[in-house]
A and B are shown apart, each in its own frame.
Chain A
Amino acid sequence: MEAIVRLIAATAPVQTPDEIKAANAAIGAGFAYGLAAIGPGIGIGFVVGKAIEAMARQPEAAGMVRTTMFLGIAFTEALALIGFVVFILLGL
């Protein structure tokens, strides 16, 4: 990450310590959100895939499965959203 910062700093016309710090923070924010999105992405994929499988096997239970699926998505998604909040906080 330091290398990227240096690369960006090398192309930028001005390099005050504040700007380097801001660049660091921006890159950190990007990584924070990108990494935070991986796990929940896989998790939501599993949740929805299994829910669709369950609905296809037992269409009469579709309502219950859908409710539970949304609950599962909500809990899984929370991690990605915390990453998003960290992204905003770091970007400030």
Chain B
Amino acid sequence: MRTVYAVAGGVSKFTKARPDKTFPALVKEAYDYMLNDIGLEHPRFYEIVDGSVVSYFSDHFARQLMAGIMVQDYLGLLPKPSHRVEGGGATGGLCFQEAYKAVASGDMDVALAMGFETMSHVNTWKGNEFIALASDTSFDYPVGGFYSGYYAMMVTRHMKEFGTTVEQLAHVSVKNHMNAYYNPYSQKRRRLTIEDVRNAPMVAWPLTRLDICVMSDGAAVVLLASEEGLAKLEKAAGKSLPKVKVAAIGRGTDAMRMSDRPHQSYEDFYRYNALPNEMDADSRAYYKELWDRGFRYPGVHSFRAGRMASKQAYERAGITNPIEEIDFVELHDAYTSSEIQTYEDMGLCRYGEGGPFAASGKAFMPTVDYGLDLPEKSKVPVNPSGGLIACGHPVGATGLMQAVFAIWQLQHRIKDHFGNDTLQVPNARRGAIHSHAGTGTYVTVSILEREE
């Protein structure tokens, strides 16, 4: 595999509806931002770029098949290679990884990953129906297809199993909305209290409207290149570009029907799913006690796909203790609860410790005042951008939005793009991005590193 650089990115402003532009024009907005950032105009860039991968989640939202080629066409990238990639909520993360593979394999030197979603084409409740079509339409959808409902069932199990509280969930909402306050691209920039989150209208018990991300229109573009590709871009731009490399990618899957997920033994967990930082005697004793109490893995409270994606990415990047070796994480917080579940999958804490971890302060930015009494200092900021809950979740763009924000973090250029450096993670050298689909069916984790 060749070294792959994440050179630059661009995002459109994420918002409830963008009736002023069609989806190809929305992607063009993000594409032009990216080009402007590296200092190239389209005709010169066209001579260098080898092709693209385009992602959007739903043919129902788009009401247009082969929408990917319409983006390639509108941007003026014909007749270069391109294809569309789709995988539910992880669509953007998969797109990033497919473009990475194109470069790593030697198929391309310069590849674009571009994603979008236009969810405003239908009202919210119809949108929920479209999203729920990403559950088994014979067995799950007809029972009351509603993703917030599926996730709320995981929450009640997590609460019962580990004693996780709704106030701990609300900490995630306060954090991510507050972070987004300093991110001009985000959809919801709000100062909230724990009480605000709990007093918001109940959607699926115990998740309130402020525990759940919203529907968005938006687009994001990421530029990936090999060493040769980067040299070509630098030559054309007449300047040196900041070096952020994609250190590793990882991917995992799990059963489409949440009810079909296995309930494995302690021995199998240690055989297949445990991370290096869980191999010590203390962790083994901790997990043994969980199993003695009836815990089974992954059950419906944990995402085996997220764990396996992390495990693969960490192994490839040489990470053995993620909380000590990763400086920030942009993860798929479609729900406050799924952020907590993902802390555990990614090994930032052990399974069952996600609730206390969320309220500890470790995942908060050191530079932001949240109006909360947090017992511990910032350790690994999670969703410094505001995440899906506050930035928005235009599905096909989301995983790429995370990549763009991670690139800017690692370039130490948040100020240039956000207009203020509040959300700049100090000395960011290594970041992880995490994209997640279905009830935990496809998950991607990619590790990005700053190269000095």
Q: Do these two chains interact?
A: no
Contact residues of B with A, CB < 8 Å?
Answer: none
